[in-house]
Amino acid sequence: MGKNIASRAIEILKEEGMKEFLRKTLAYMVRRAEFLILPYALLKIKHLDRDCSLNELLDFVFNDLASLIKPSQIRSEISELLNIVGEIKPRVILEIGTAKGGTMFLFSRTASKDATIISADLPRGMFGGGYSNWRKSLYKSFALSSQKIYLFRMDSHKKESLEQVRAILGEERLDFLFVDGDHSYEGVKKDFEMYSPLVRQGGIVAFHDIVPGPTENVGEVPQFWREIKEFYGGKEVVEDWEQGGYGIGIIISKVKKQ
């Protein structure tokens, strides 16, 4: 245990009591030991039926693998988004906010069999804190044999990040952009302004956490969503407006008039 961790542990013990100390210590140990199930996870992913149903796919990410790749989503909401995205069988996807890889995994199985999937996350971030390096091999294993997965460990707001995405796209356009990274008002706005021009006409842009809730979970995404939905006429996929967070806002990139 490093010095910082030890002093933090003493702090929790003093301020929050034994029960909370034990709970947090256990959660910490589970997080540190997660990588132990990596070989098992790789095997399960490899043998998961390529053509399994959406329900089986959702069961897999939500209930299997001890939450290793559990998405930060409400099942019914992500299920509806996948149905919508599945209709266009995207060939090029950009996700901002990889975290545990849950949504990336689901998108990879909903995309076309030769899709290019780019997923970006910070090495450390406010909303989930990025991911450990050992997860890279896990995330790479999501790709079907003709798919390509690019993992960017970068701040999506940096000019170089946009350039890297552009370099991968070449002449192509994004079919689907999923914005689930920086949840501050300026952060989500910047992601939208930087990357939505790369989405083809008729492509899909979706935002997570449009339902008002605790700031530490949703940031200011609900406010941003309220503003742009007026303008773009978005669709809202929300299980319950009282659930305090979550919810997905979807807009279809404008189709040029003939």
Ligand X SMILES: C[S@@+](CC[C@H](N)C(=O)[O-])C[C@H]1O[C@@H](n2cnc3c(N)ncnc32)[C@H](O)[C@@H]1O
Q: How far is CA 212 from the centre of its chain?
A: 19
Between CA 51 and CA 14 the distance in angstroms is: 52
Sole residue written with tokens 């849950």:
102
User: Given the complex with ligand X, which of 31 and 254 has the nearer CB atom?
Assistant: 31
How far apart are CB 175 and ligand X at their closest, in Å? 17
Tokens of 230: 């007026």
Q: Which is nearer to ligand X, 156 or 196 (CB)?
A: 156
Separation between Cα atoms, residue 22 and residue 25, nearest integer Å: 5
Return the structure tokens found at 166. Answer: 């552009």
User: Residue 43 corresponds to which tokens in the numbers above?
Assistant: 């095997």
* Residue of minimal Cβ distance to ligand X: 125
Nearer to ligand X, 144 or 154 (CB): 154
> CA-CA distance, 236 to 189, in Å (whole number)?
18
Residue 247 CB, nearest approach to ligand X (Å):
13
Q: Which residue's CB is nearer to ligand X, number 21 or number 217?
A: 217
Please, what is the minimum distance in Å from the beta carbon of residue 66 to ligand X?
15
Cα–Cα distance for residue pair 244/67, rounded to 1 Å: 22
Binding site for ligand X (CB under 6 A): 71-73, 96-97, 99-100, 102-103, 120-122, 125-130, 155-157, 180-182
Give min distance, CB of 131 to ligand X, in A: 7
